Structures are given as structure tokens and as C-alpha cells.
Amino acid sequence: MAHSSVSAPSSKAVRLAWLLPAAVVLFGLGLRLYRLDHQSLWYDEVFALTVSHYAWPQMFSSLVADIVHPPLHYLVLHFWTGLFGVGPVQGRLVSVIFGTLSIALLYVFANYLFDRSTAALSAVLLAVSQLSISYSQEARAYAMFLFLVLVSSYLFLRSLRSQRPRDWWLFIASTLPVIYTHYYGAFVLAAFALFALLFRKRYPIPVSYWLGGSALIAGAFAVWLFSGVIQQELASSKVGVRVSSHEHWYTIVTIVNSFNNGRVDGFPAAAPVWTFLLGGIVFTLPALFGLRNLRRPISERQSIERENSIFLLILCGVSIVLALTAGATLGFYEIRYVVFCAAPYYVLVARGLQSISSSALRNALIVLGVAYSAYGLRANYVLPYKEDYRGSLDHVAELEKSGDCYVIGPPWVVREMGRAWAIYEPGQPALSPTPIDSVGSCDRVWLITQTSNDHPPAIQWRKQAQKQLEAGYSSIEKKPYFWMEDDLYERKPDVP
């Protein structure tokens, strides 16, 4: 009986091979759990935690009225908060779980695309990513979205190469959670379609598969769209009024710098110029270096790796370009809409670093990149970047007296401030706002305002409210918090 000259790896070797990725995943979990409740809940998190805890009919009607996101993440939160209760830590733990699972999945995906070394380094880069940690510590859908995009990307490439019907329909099924988590999941599907079109001769997909898959996706998502979302959007005051876009001609550069962990002065602040240079050297240049063989005649193995690099480029590029185009059209763009693109970008960076022939240079860049990323994490753990609802409301709860009136503004935050009060001050009577024109009978008035520096209407509203109150009241206490301020007024003695 013939024996192979290559023996199977021993069980000990297999265990050792998985020791590093397991350690990286655990390290990433620790970074995502560390100071999980340090930042206050902000507007979107308060909405998500409150709405997801409603009974099903009320939750769906609230989501339809909001029109901003599909319902899957809210459904996950609904079951989770039903088990563990409503609170900042409970809500954010969902994102911690998905953010950590994404590290493990990126390792599997990068190993499928390239090799174990690239996979391990990709996982390290995602584990220490500023953006990934930030959105893994937020009770919003973005960590879950990243995980689902990675799942669907892996199944897409596997279905193309295996040409098995089972793999194709498994991939199609995986796209439904993606688009039911975020509308920009459609951009991910567009990237998949472009890649399949470019490589249609190498990986022919039967027309029946395309038609059947498209019909299944469209039909499944139509259930949500025709639940009332389209009608609500057409009638909504939100349409056409979102003009606070953070998009500029150089936004693509700031996106890459954010992926490079360049927000060292905090997420609300502009990144220092030196971070663009250092991050470009440590992350972007290696990624570009790894792409140098895209046009060269290559072997079959290198041909597959070339395709994989092209896929990662298309997944990042198409998603970002379409997101920026949508932002320019709708007047609203945020980095969080494309944060899932950081994962394929890190695989390109890791592949580029691994392709550097000089081990001394390669190791130096890896050490510098990890050290630079660690320095950037100061922005996550120390510097505030979310409205401090908690500090503001705790202050009010400590000093309030029976009969106090509460003026809350600007008007668009009144409802979420009331919801935040219910989360942070459970057991207390509801925080009932009083219109500023109706405070004449109040002896003391709290002015609780959001004061985001990059939103002039909020600043203007606060100034007008202060001026109106000062006509009959004296300020007896003023307490600023991050992007929030509490002002306590007492009626002037000579005012009836």
C-alpha cells in the first residue's frame, strides 16, 4: 500500500497553528470590553435601545416612521434586551460580540484569500482598529454590518469558484441579513455584481441563478419596503433636509486616514497633518506595494491571489464611491456608513506587508503600525466623542426640586433626551419638557441643551433660549458637559 510522502499535520501542530489567531481574537475582545460604558449613550443609541425594547407592533411602526434603517439590528436588540434588560452595557454588548466575531471571521477570510501569515496580521489590524473598536462599543448596527458583509463576501467568492448550486443559494441567503441591516448593503451587492461581471468568463454563472437570486433578494426586501417605509419617506420631513454632510472633495483621503487610525486627537477633531503621512507610510504604501503585480503575467496561484486583491479593491472602492455619491445627493454622509470597508483594506495592507522581502523592514513596519494604532486608541478610551447625556441628566437628577420646569432643546433632541432620562434615571418620574413660552409660572427653570460645535442651529437655538429666559430669570448654575450644557435659572425677585 502506497503512502504519501507528506504526512498530515499532528494535532499538536494544528493546535499551535490556531493559538495565535485565538489570542488575537481574545485580545480584540478585551479592547472592545475595556471602558465599554465610559462614553455616554448618544442620540442614535438612545433611539435604538428604546425602540428595540418596544412590543413588536410599536417597534415596527417606530422604525417605519423613522425610515433611516432596516429592522434586523433592532430585532436582534429586541431579543437581547428582552433577556438582559435595557442599558448602555447590555445594548453595546451586542456590538462587542459582532465586532469580536469579525476579527475571527477576517482571519478565516484572509486565510482563504491568501495565507495564514496574511490572515493573522489582518486580524491584528482589525483588532486594534480605532473605528472597529469605536463601533463595537456602540449600540448601533455597524459592527453587526461588518460581520455580515464578511460572511457574504466569503460565501460569494466560494460560490463563484465552486460553481455548486448549494453554495450559490447559500450566498444569496447571506445577502438578506446584509440589506436588512443597512440600506448601503445594496452597495456591497453592487461590488459583488461588478466583480462577477469582470470575471464572467472565468466564473460563468447561469442566467437562471442570476434571475433567481435577484428575484429572491428583491422579493425579500420588498416585504420591508412595502410595509409603509416608501410612503413614509415620501411624506417625511426628513427627506431633502439633511444638510450636515461631512463630505468634501478630499473625503476619500480622510476615510483612508481613519482606517489608518489617524484620529489621534479624537473623532470629532480634524486629524493632524502628520497622521496622514505616518499612516500612509505604515498602512497605505504597503497596501499599494502589495498590488504591484496586478498587471504582470503570473502563475495560476498568483492569478487567484490577483483576483482576490481585485475583489478587495472593488469591495472597498465601489462601496465608498457609492456611499459618497449618495452623501452628495442626500446631503448627509458619515464615516460610519463605510466603516465595514476597513476590513478588506486591512487585508490589502497585511498582504502588502507580507510581500516585503526584507524581514527587518517588514517587522519594523508591523511594530510601528501596531504601536501607532495603540497610540490612536487614546481617542477611544480617554477623549470624549459622544454627547454626554449621562452627565447632564445625572446633574439634573441630583439638584432638581419639586416644581422645577425643564426646557429641553433644540427641538429635535427633546424626545431622545426624555428617552435617555428613562434609561439613566430609572424609577424617576418622566422628564416632562415645558415649552419656553410657558415657563412664566415656574420658580426654577432648567435649560438642558445639546451644544454640538459643528451644528450651528443648535448653538443658535440655545442662545435664543438663554436670552428669552434672562428677561425674567437669573442664572444660578451653569454646568457644561461634552456637547451638552445645563443652565439652572431662578425667577428674579422683582418679576411677578
**Domain shared by 355 and 443, yes or no:** no
The answer to whether residue 18 scores a pLDDT higher than 50 is yes
Contacts of 253 (CB under 8 A, 6+ apart): 276
Q: Write down the mean pLDDT value for the chain.
A: 92
The predicted-structure confidence for 173-201, as pLDDT tens digits, reads as follows 999 999 999 999 999 999 999 999 999 99
**Domain shared by 38 and 165, yes or no:** yes
The answer to whether residue 489 scores a pLDDT higher than 50 is yes
Q: What are phi and psi of 12, to 5 degrees?
A: -65, -40
**3 state SS for 110-164:** HHHHCCHHHHHHHHHHHHCCHHHHHHHCCCCCHHHHHHHHHHHHHHHHHHHHHCC
Mean pLDDT of 260-274: 95
**Domain shared by 244 and 373, yes or no:** yes
Q: How confident is the model at residue 234 (pLDDT cuts 50, 70, 90)?
A: confident
Phi/psi-derived region of residue 312, left when phi > 0, alpha when psi is between -120 and 50, beta in every other case: alpha
pTM for the model: 0.94
The predicted-structure confidence for 76-117, as pLDDT tens digits, reads as follows 999 999 999 999 999 999 999 999 999 999 999 999 999 999
**Domain shared by 67 and 93, yes or no:** yes
* Distance separating alpha carbons of residues 89 and 94, to the nearest angstrom: 9
Phi/psi-derived region of residue 261, left when phi > 0, alpha when psi is between -120 and 50, beta in every other case: left
The answer to whether residue 335 scores a pLDDT higher than 70 is yes
pLDDT of residue 298: 72
Q: How confident is the model at residue 301 (pLDDT cuts 50, 70, 90)?
A: confident
pLDDT of residue 8: 56
The answer to whether residue 62 scores a pLDDT higher than 70 is yes
Contacts of 460 (CB under 8 A, 6+ apart): none
**Domain shared by 369 and 419, yes or no:** no
Does 2 map to a domain? no
pLDDT of residue 292: 85
Q: What are phi and psi of 63, to 5 degrees?
A: -70, -40
Does 146 map to a domain? yes
Does 6 map to a domain? no
**Domain shared by 113 and 227, yes or no:** yes
From 378, 400, 415, give the residue that closes a domain: 378
The answer to whether residue 72 scores a pLDDT higher than 70 is yes
The predicted-structure confidence for 468-480, as pLDDT tens digits, reads as follows 999 999 999 999 9
Does 5 map to a domain? no
**Domain shared by 57 and 205, yes or no:** yes
**Domain shared by 345 and 436, yes or no:** no
**DSSP code at position 425:** S
Does 220 map to a domain? yes
Range of the domain at 310: 15-378
Does 227 map to a domain? yes
**Domain shared by 403 and 347, yes or no:** no
From 332, 348, 378, give the residue that closes a domain: 378
**Domain shared by 431 and 340, yes or no:** no
**Domain shared by 273 and 412, yes or no:** no
Q: What percent of the chain has pLDDT over 90?
A: 82
* Distance separating alpha carbons of residues 198 and 441, to the nearest angstrom: 71
Q: What percent of the chain has pLDDT over 70?
A: 93
Mean pLDDT of 315-319: 97
Does 384 map to a domain? no
pLDDT of residue 422: 96
**Domain shared by 153 and 114, yes or no:** yes
The answer to whether residue 223 scores a pLDDT higher than 50 is yes
Does 3 map to a domain? no
From 320, 350, 378, give the residue that closes a domain: 378
pLDDT of residue 66: 85
Mean pLDDT of 304-315: 96
The β-bridge relationship of strands 484-491 and 444-450 is antiparallel
**Which CATH number covers residue 433?**
3.30.110
pLDDT of residue 242: 46
Determine the distance from the C-alpha atom of residue 147 to the mean position of all C-alpha atoms in its chain, rounded to a whole number. Answer: 11
What is the amino acid identity at position 211? L
Determine the distance from the C-alpha atom of residue 100 to the mean position of all C-alpha atoms in its chain, rounded to a whole number. Answer: 14
* Distance separating alpha carbons of residues 36 and 374, to the nearest angstrom: 17
* Distance separating alpha carbons of residues 471 and 249, to the nearest angstrom: 45
User: Domains in the chain: how many in total?
Assistant: 2
Identify the weakest region by mean pLDDT among 218-222, 224-228, 312-316, 370-374: 224-228
pLDDT of residue 176: 97
Beta bridge partners of 474: 490
